[in-house]
């Protein structure tokens, strides 16, 4: 993406093997883009000319911006940022592409916190329009302004948000997957949930298709981080762990909730049955309508969005709307998750969440409407 926009890019990896894989991935992405846009092959040469692969920090002293995109391990990230502070010039912006880890923790072993910022690209980065810019209490205004300018040059839609676990996009949508998991582990067919979300909400893909795309293992790992931060109101599913143990990780292994022939997923009811049986053991079977599926999966997203607003991580409702559309594919014609909630009726959203909180005591805190949402409902 940066190569196409005229940036000189240094790609650093930990060893030659990883570097080869990285360069190959860049080449494949550029080839696919050229084919799709019907551009001449010379565009590949022009783009790759600006790429410098390396396994050292040579050349980093000339960088204006470094984006870290390594494994989600706090210790490793802290070491990388300590190294970057030493090798980069004092004006260089040090950015992390972490999707969940507190940025203050990542930068706590440096003296460069004023120029550390989160630049959260959504996968695949060359396709998804959202670039979440995460400011900490130490991030300078100039660094935030430069990050917005960088996002615009890349052709991204920048949204500036506060620093918390999950930031804004992943935080507001963690109840989306957890609510679906609660329904599945209490007797509702996962393929039915996906069909309902696509047909009634007009989501571009179902929640289980999304899990397969990002990786079941990634979902399990992220759930652990989210649960550690917001555990009192989380539903911790077991289904993902069972699938992970069986190496059903989604598209990357050819099978997850769906079986894949290329990128096309086909329901695998027979193959999924033993995992569902195991995950549902000892739990009641519930009966829900399609409309209740919509409410139980989407209304908790509205609830968590209200918490993000109450904590001041975003300035206005429309920031949440833009994030939901450009980061998670919420249908643009519905105006975004908060705009949609207001069209549904904020008082109705609050009442239905309170109903589900009372109806299902085991997940009472998960569905309970937050104070901010209750205040909105009273005003409505």
Contact (Cβ atoms closer than 8 angstroms) between residue 319 and residue 301: no
Nearby residues of 370 by Cβ (< 8 Å), 6 or more positions away: 303, 306, 307, 310
Question: Which sign, positive or negative, has the C-alpha torsion 138, 306, 119, 14?
Answer: positive
Alpha-carbon distance of 23 to 317, in angstroms, equals 40
Alpha-carbon distance of 58 to 93, in angstroms, equals 17
Tokens of 22: 């990285």
Alpha-carbon distance of 335 to 318, in angstroms, equals 9
Contact (Cβ atoms closer than 8 angstroms) between residue 147 and residue 196: no
Which candidate, 244, 194, 192, places its Cα nearest to that of 215? 244
Contact (Cβ atoms closer than 8 angstroms) between residue 257 and residue 208: yes
Residue of 120, 126, 202, 208 marked catalytic? 120
> Nearest 5 degrees, angle CA 123-CA 129-CA 134?
80
Neighbours of 263 (CB within 10 A): 7
Alpha-carbon distance of 206 to 199, in angstroms, equals 10
Tokens of 201: 């909400």
Tokens of 380: 């409505």
Task: State yes or no: is 120 an active-site residue.
Answer: yes
**CA quadruple 113, 69, 5, 124: dihedral, nearest 10:** -130
Kindly list the catalytic residues.
120
């Amino acid at each position: 993406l940066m190569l196409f926009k005229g940036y000189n890019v240094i790609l650093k990896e930990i060893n030659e093997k990883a570097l080869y894989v990285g360069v190959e991935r860049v080449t494949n992405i550029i080839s696919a883009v050229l084919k799709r846009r019907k551009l001449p092959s010379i565009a590949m040469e022009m783009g790759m000319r600006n790429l410098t692969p390396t396994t050292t920090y040579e050349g980093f002293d000339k960088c204006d911006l470094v984006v870290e995109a390594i494994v989600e391990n706090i210790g490793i990230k802290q070491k990388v940022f300590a190294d970057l502070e030493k090798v980069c010039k004092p004006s260089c912006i040090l950015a992390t592409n972490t999707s969940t880890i507190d940025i203050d923790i990542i930068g706590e072993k440096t003296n460069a916190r004023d120029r550390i910022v989160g630049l959260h690209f959504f996968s695949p980065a060359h396709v998804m329009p959202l670039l979440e810019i995460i400011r900490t209490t130490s991030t300078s205004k100039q660094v935030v302004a430069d990050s917005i300018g960088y996002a615009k040059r890349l052709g991204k839609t920048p949204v500036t948000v506060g620093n918390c676990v999950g930031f804004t996009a992943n935080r507001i949508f963690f109840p989306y997957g957890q609510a679906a998991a609660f329904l599945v582990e209490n007797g509702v067919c996962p393929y039915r949930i996906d069909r309902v979300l696509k047909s009634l909400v007009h989501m571009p893909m179902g929640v289980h298709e999304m899990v397969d795309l990002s990786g079941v293992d990634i979902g399990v790992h992220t759930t652990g981080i989210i649960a550690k931060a917001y555990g009192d109101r989380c539903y911790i599913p077991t289904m993902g762990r069972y699938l992970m143990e069986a190496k059903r990780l989604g598209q990357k292994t050819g099978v997850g909730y769906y079986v894949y022939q290329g990128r096309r997923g086909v329901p695998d009811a027979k193959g999924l049955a033993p995992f569902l049986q195991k995950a549902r053991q000892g739990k009641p079977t519930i009966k829900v309508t399609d409309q209740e599926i919509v409410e139980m999966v989407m209304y908790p997203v509205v609830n968590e969005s209200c918490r993000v607003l109450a904590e001041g991580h975003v300035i206005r409702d429309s920031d949440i709307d833009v994030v939901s559309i450009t980061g998670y594919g919420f249908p643009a014609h519905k105006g975004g998750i908060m705009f949609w909630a207001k069209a549904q009726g904020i008082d109705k959203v609050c009442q239905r969440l309170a109903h589900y909180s009372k109806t299902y005591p085991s997940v009472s805190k998960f569905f309970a409407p937050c104070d901010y949402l209750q205040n909105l409902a009273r005003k409505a």
